[in-house]
Amino acid sequence: MRPATFVILGASGDLASRLLLPAVGELLHRDTDRELTLIGAGSDAWDDDHWRDAVRKAFAAAGAEDEFPRVAETRYVQADITDPDALTSLLEPLHGPVVLYFAVPPAVAAAACTALQQVRLPEDLVLALEKPFGGDREGAAKLNAVLRDLVPERQVFRVDHFLGRDTVLNLLGVRFANRLVEPLWSAAHVEHVLIRFDESLALENRARYYDHAGAMVDMLQSHLLQILATLTMAPPATLGERDLRDAKGAALRATHIWDDDPVHFSRRARYTAGTIGDRRIPSYVDEPGVDPSRDTETLAEFTCEVRTSRWAGVPFTLRSGKALGTARAEVVVTFRKVRHLPEGFLGDAPDGGVLRFSLGPDTVTFELNVNGGDDPFELHREAATVALGEGRIHAYTQVLSEILEGDVTLSVRGDSAEECWRIVQPVQDAWSRGDVPLEDYPAGSPGPAGWATSQAS
């Protein structure tokens, strides 16, 4: 294993301390022969001692305090990473392979990449960028052009930690390895699909980022469209990087807002004060750092269609929000009713059965219409759940491991990043014109009363 230098840009931020540094600790704990030089860089006036203390604490939080001596020489560089001279001083002493991880807001990452065009880069430089990638389709295209000028596509990681390797493989395994599922995976059998990420967490002091992004950019435009692509892509010949990313790219290119009508097929809402368990949640607009005039949505949904012969006519609804009563991360695939139910059964089968993937910990549940029980003619619903495993390591540890191994399979390819913006652009335009009202829902509720997805079990 070649020793690598891992540079976190934005080292004093939330992502670095809460997720990236613990992941470095967990990775070193798991890979005992890995050698890593760790460098933090950011605009805050930290010194090396302050930084080492932050690293030690983060390792302890991951149960990896014993690994700290392996990075004890770690140092912190105060730098404005949008300044080419500061980047030159940071990178000049480093030797490849070097990973630059941009744990900074998207506009800062884009400006830093532009600045890198004026810097002599270390050999084998790898660039890892967080979502959201660019601020819109044009921004994503511009950023892709800058990145192409810096390093080959295989050295760019557009990170999507949400779909860790285990979850992707779990989805693909159920979809492709079962005659019970694989031949039914098309518009001929599927009625509709819901991809949902409902959080019971509220803003959690992240206004600086979230109040600019909102639920649609934070979740639907990135993570949930990646899940849609994984579910709807044509069967790839192999699980290799090229086959998987080509298939996902083709699925995204075929995806459009339902009826090309974002006014009727998108919704947005914002939470008001309420209670979740024993937590009192203030109204979103009263959270520190929120600018109410931005009209930032904390719950978003839209319905889209994947216009291929496999999927045309099947509505896919993507929904995500904060401060909801029940946390649910799931894909719900509802099958069409059987063509003929023999007369004589009592009751009705509301659909042809449901396949429900719950994400993290991953399970798959088959919800079937069955009879039996007291009256053998009466139909009712029973569910059988299969655990798909806990996943071996945390999402960010998987991400770091893939970056250090140079495995871009699960990173979002440049063309797909642009497609995701293209898909949501009509919704963003309709929302900014005010054509879709901003509704509200009390924190702790299932969402606005009129939304079918707030009622769906």
Residues designated catalytic:
223
CB of 338 to ligand NDP, least distance (A): 43
Contact 252, 222 (CB under 8 A): no
* Span interacting with ligand NDP, options 5-13, 51-59, 319-327, 432-440, rule CB under 6 A: 5-13
Q: Which of 22, 40, 97, 105 binds ligand NDP (CB under 6 A)?
A: 105
- Signed CA dihedral, 102, 105, 109, 111: sign only: negative
Of 102-110, 282-290, 329-337, 363-371, which segment contacts ligand NDP by CB under 6 A? Answer: 102-110
Residue closer to ligand NDP by CB (options 108, 234) is 108
Could you say whether residue 103 binds ligand NDP (CB under 6 A)? Answer: yes
Q: Which is nearer to ligand NDP, 186 or 200 (CB)?
A: 200
Nearer to ligand NDP, 90 or 194 (CB): 90
Stretch that binds ligand NDP, among 51-59, 100-108, 286-294, 332-340 (CB under 6 A): 100-108
**Minimal distance in Å, beta carbon 238 to ligand NDP?**
30
Query: Beta 255-257 vs 266-272: how paired, if at all?
Result: unpaired
- 3-state secondary structure (DSSP) of residue 4: strand
What's the number of CA atoms in the CB half-sphere (13 Å) around residue 149? 14
Q: Which of 104, 171, 276, 333 binds ligand NDP (CB under 6 A)?
A: 104
| φ, ψ for residue 153, nearest 5 deg | -55, -35
Of 103-111, 294-302, 308-316, 363-371: span binding ligand NDP (CB under 6 A): 103-111
Q: Check: CB of residue 55 under 8 Å from CB of residue 86.
A: no
Neighbours of 98 (CB within 10 A): 20
C-alpha–C-alpha distance, residues 175 and 172, integer Å: 5
CB 20 within 8 A of CB 26: no
| One-letter identity of residue 125 | L
Minimal distance, residue 200 CB to ligand NDP, in Å: 16
442: closest CA among 237, 211, 274?
Answer: 274
Lookup result for tokens 């392996």: 70
Q: What is the smallest separation between the CB atom of 94 and ligand NDP, expressed in angstroms?
A: 17
> In the bound complex, what is the minimum distance in angstroms from residue 103's beta carbon to ligand NDP?
5
Number of residues binding to ligand NDP, judged by CB under 6 A: 21
Choices 99-107, 190-198, 260-268, 362-370 (CB under 6 A): range interacting with ligand NDP? 99-107
**For residue 76, what are the CA distances in angstroms to 19, 129, 148, 264?**
18, 20, 29, 50
Q: Are 425 and 256 in contact (CB under 8 A)?
A: no
**Binding positions for ligand NDP, 114-133, rule CB under 6 A:** 130-131
Q: Binding string, 7-26, against ligand NDP, x = CB under 6 A?
A: ---x-xxxx---x-------
d(CA 300, CA 262): 12
Query: Residue 343 class from Cβ within 10 Å (0-12 exposed, 13-18 middle, 19+ buried)?
Result: exposed
Task: Give the residue with the Cβ less far from ligand NDP, 41 or 252.
Answer: 41
Residue 188 CB, nearest distance to ligand NDP (Å)?
38
x-or-dash string of contact with ligand NDP, 186-225, rule CB under 6 A: ----------------------xx----------------
Question: Measured from the CB of residue 174, what is the shortest distance to ligand NDP in angstroms?
Answer: 26
Q: Closest Cα partner for 113 from 249, 185, 20, 9?
A: 9
Amino acid identity of residue 2, one-letter, is: R
Closest distance of CB 65 from ligand NDP, Å: 22
Q: Which residue in 101, 148, 94 sits closest to 123, CA to CA?
A: 94
SS3 for 254-313 is CEEEHHHCCCCCEEEEEEECEEECCEEECCHHHCCCCCHHHCCCCEEEEEEEECCCCCCC
Verify binding: residue 136, ligand NDP, rule CB under 6 A.
no
To ligand NDP, the closest distance from the beta carbon of 334 in angstroms equals: 30
**Residue selected from 42, 134, 214, 353 as contacting ligand NDP according to rule CB under 6 A:** 42
181 near ligand NDP, judged by CB under 6 A:
no
Cβ-based neighbours of 349, under 8 Å, separated by 6 or more: 337, 338, 341, 369, 379
The reply to whether 44 sits near ligand NDP by the rule CB under 6 A is yes
Residue closer to ligand NDP (CB basis): 105 or 352: 105
Mark 51-90 with x for binding to ligand NDP (rule: CB under 6 A) and - for no binding: -----------------------------xxx--------
Residue nearest to ligand NDP (CB): 13
Chain residues binding ligand NDP by CB under 6 A are: 10, 12-15, 19, 42-44, 80-82, 103-106, 108, 130-131, 208-209
